[in-house]
Amino acid sequence: MDQGRKSRGGWKAAAGVLSAIILAYLLVCYLVMPELWIFRDRSTVADLSRMVTTTGDDIPGDPINVGLVGPKQQVIKAFAASGWDPADRITLLSSVEIGLSVALDRPDLDAPVSPLFFDGRKQDLAFEKPVGRSADERHHIRLWRTATVGADGQPLWLGSASFDRGVGVSHDTGQITHHIGPDLDAERELVIADLKAAGQISMTYERAGVGATRDGRNGGGDPYFTDGRILVGVLRSSEKR
């Protein structure tokens, strides 16, 4: 009997220590470190172009590098035709599913992407294209509908496209995140090339973005480089195909 009580007491003590460690991790990485980052790099934040997204903690995220012109349903259909899947919203279930996908190396075609903000809004749409079996590596893009009108009076969507090269922890805050590959221009070209190959784009043009950047760093502390241009694709309307 005494042995059983001691065993239960030991498990309770271990559980208490583990809970304290987890709570400390959450407090430090999700509350303290983001504030320290902003305090340390506040001058960098002030100098950023508006063509850069931010995290929920106001830390600079990925730059805008892709644009699309067309109505929402056409954007969704264009990505579906190009072999890209819509990303799920972040919920407890979707978070568990992406965790199991990475841990067990199994597919999760609609794995969620973390929210980024542009012009004060979370992304309106997000799509992904898996690489390999699991959600550990994937191409993905977040899109925001803007008030700007493009060809044929259709809305302009601006997006940030990047390649997730693996799951890890943020170099700046310690939060769990995907790390991105550094070549953002390659991802920009991939998105437009896939849409073109599927016959979804009638024409493309460029517009100014964040500007040439050799030593950029996103919200996870990952380095990136880009020529700073935004490649815009005008979606081909269904009646013109």
Domain assignment present for residue 46? The answer is: no
How many domains does the structure of the chain reveal? 2
- Band of residue 107 on the pLDDT scale cut at 50, 70, 90: very low
Q: In sequence order, what are the beta bridge partners of 85?
A: 128
Indicate if 23 and 74 belong to the same structural domain. Answer: no
Domain containing residue 25: 1-40
In the predicted structure, residue 134 carries a pLDDT above the cut 60: no
pTM: 0.73
Q: Do 24 and 70 fall within a single domain?
A: no
Q: How far apart are CA 201 and CA 197, in angstroms?
A: 9
Say yes or no to pLDDT of 53 above 90.
yes
Verify that 82 and 187 share a domain, yes or no.
yes
Residue 89 lies in a domain: yes
Q: What is the DSSP string of 53-101?
A: EE-TTS-EEEEP-EEEES-HHHHHHHHHHTT-EEPPP--HHHHHHHHHH
The answer to whether residue 126 scores a pLDDT higher than 90 is yes
Q: Name the pLDDT band for 25 (thresholds 50, 70, 90).
A: very low
In a domain, 102, yes or no: yes
Let me know whether 36 and 55 are in one domain: no
Q: How far apart are CA 151 and CA 195, in angstroms?
A: 17
Token pair recorded at residue 201: 């784009």
Same domain, 23 and 59: no
- For residue 84, pLDDT beyond 90: yes
pLDDT at 14 (0 to 100): 62
Same domain, yes or no: 87 and 154 = yes
Answer yes or no: is 192 within a domain: yes
pLDDT digits (tens, 9 = 90+) for 182-218: 999 999 999 999 999 999 999 999 999 999 999 888 8
Arithmetic mean of pLDDT, 121-148 = 88
Residues 87 and 24 in one domain: no
Q: Is residue 208 part of a domain?
A: yes
